[in-house]
Structure formats: structure tokens, C-alpha cells
Amino acid sequence: MKLLSLKLNDNIFMETEKITTELDIARNRYINDALEMYNLYNKKKLLKSALYKASKLTRTDAMSVLAEFENIADEATD
């Protein structure tokens, strides 16, 4: 485990203290859980962005292939 020095805004610290007291969990556990959830959120956000970029790059090719398939389908029914 890594030791971390952390500066928090007073209002965030006070709210964290109130919640950890009510939940009866250690502040360290609470912050670790919060960071884990935030990391998952940001991983999904980064993946979404990467997929959007990849989709945007292949959009023209995909539409071209789709048009070719449609032409083949049209020729087959003629």
C-alpha cells in the first residue's frame, strides 16, 4: 500500500467526516472506495471516447462497404 498526503477542501473534508461517522467506516476505506469508483467512471469515459474516435475513422469505409452490399443485393434480385 502507498502512503499518500492529501489536501482536501474544508467542506469536502467535513462532509466526508460526517458520512464516514454515520456509516461507521474508516476515512481511508471511504476515500479508497471513492477513488475506485471514480477510476471506473473515467475508464468508461475514456473507452467511450476511444470507441467514438475509432467509429468516426471507419465511418466512411463502413458506409462504402454497406453501399457495395446493397448493390450486390439489388443485382441479385434483378
Question: Helix (H, G, I), strand (E, B), or coil: what is residue 1?
Answer: coil
pTM over 0.75: no
Looking at the structure of the chain, the number of domains it has is 1
pLDDT at position 70, please? 83
pLDDT at position 10, please? 98
Structural domain includes residue 4: no
Structural domain includes residue 46: yes
The three cell numbers locating residue 15: 462532509
Structural domain includes residue 23: yes
Structural domain includes residue 3: no
Structural domain includes residue 2: no
Q: At what angle do helices 10-23 and 27-77 cross, to 10 degrees?
A: 90
Give the CA angle between residues 46, 6, 23 to the nearest 5°: 85
- Domain span holding position 73: 10-77
pLDDT at position 47, please? 97
Looking at the chain, the whole-number percentage of residues with pLDDT higher than 90 is 64
Q: Evaluate if residue 55 carries a pLDDT over 90.
A: no
Structural domain includes residue 5: no
Structural domain includes residue 16: yes
Q: Does residue 70 or residue 16 have the better pLDDT?
A: 16
pLDDT at position 78, please? 65
The candidate with the shortest Cα–Cα distance to 19, out of 30, 4, 10, is: 30
The three cell numbers locating residue 9: 477542501
